[in-house]
Structure 1
Amino acid sequence: MALSPFHLAIPVFDLARARAFYGEVFGLTEGRSSSQWVDFDFFGHQLVIHEHPKTPSQQAAHTNPVDGHDVPVPHFGVVLPWEQWQQLAERLKGFNIPFVIEPYVRFRGQVGEQATMFLLDPCGNALEFKAFKDMSQLFAK
């Protein structure tokens, strides 16, 4: 499956803290930038953090129940290869990043079984990272 990179621009109310978080914690390569925004190579996709006043969802995220957990809405992230997901989970733990939902396997033994974890950036943007041992399960019903 050949994918085209997506472009996502998100609001951050503390550009310096968000820049450090994405650059240092995730180890993302920085691209173009200005005094109000920064581009990152987000696992092959273009993530842009834009300076913006705090949004309602950054103050108090809404949640929906999924597999017994309260999933923050909105959220974004990427589906990684299984081993890369495990490495990222360990990296985040090494930085003592608090998880909204600790790394675990969701829908174990069911259609769509996947590893997942949720966390917040320093500005309250929710991120989810997933992995499937069987990528054919990505859109399985």
Structure 2
Amino acid sequence: MSLSPFHLAIPVHDLPAARRFYGEVFGLPEGRSSEHWVDFDFYGHQLVIHEHPKMPYQERAGTNLVDGHDVPVPHFGIVLEWDQWEALAERLKSFGTKFVIEPYIRFKGQVGEQATMFLLDPCGNALEFKAFKDMSQLFAK
């Protein structure tokens, strides 16, 4: 499957904290930047953090119940290879990351079984990282 890179711009009310989080905690390479925004290479995609006053959803995200967990809405993330997901989970734990949903296997033994974890950036943006041992399960019903 060949994918085109996506571009996602998100608001951050503390640009220096968000820049450290995405650059140091995640280890994402930084691209262009200005006093008010920073580009990151988000696993081959363009993630831009824009300085902006706090948004209501950054105060308290809504949730939907999925596999017995309150999943924050809105959220964004990426599907990684299984070994990348495991390495990222360990990296985040080594930085003392507080998870909204700790890394675990969702839908275990069912169609769509996947590894997943949820966390918030320093500005309250929710992120999900997931992986499938069998990528054909990504859109399986």
| Fold shared by both chains (TM-score > 0.5) | yes
For 2:68 and 2:43, the matched residues in 1 are separated by 28
For 2:60 and 2:49, the matched residues in 1 are separated by 19
Amino acid at match of 1:7: H
How many pairs are equivalent? Answer: 141
Deviation at 1:55, TM superposition (A): 0.4
For 1:57 and 1:131, the matched residues in 2 are separated by 26
For 2:41 and 2:77, the matched residues in 1 are separated by 13
Q: Which residue of 1 aligns with 2:49?
A: 49
TM norm structure 2: 1.00
Q: Which residue of 1 aligns with 2:126?
A: 126
Amino acid at match of 2:24: E
Deviation at 1:50, TM superposition (A): 0.1
Amino acid at match of 1:101: I
Q: Which residue of 2 aligns with 1:81?
A: 81
Q: Which residue of 1 aligns with 2:36?
A: 36
For 1:64 and 1:53, the matched residues in 2 are separated by 25
TM norm structure 1: 1.00
Deviations 1:33-61 (A, max 9, x none): 00000000001100000000000000001
Task: State the percentage of identical aligned residues.
Answer: 82
Flag structure 2 segments of 5+ consecutive residues without an equivalent. none
Does structure 1 residue 22 correspond to structure 2 residue 22? yes
For 1:83 and 1:60, the matched residues in 2 are separated by 32
For 2:126 and 2:3, the matched residues in 1 are separated by 23
RMSD: 0.3
Deviations 1:43-93 (A, max 9, x none): 110000000000000000100000000000000000000000000000000
Q: Which residue of 1 aligns with 2:72?
A: 72
* 4+ residue runs over 4 A deviation: none
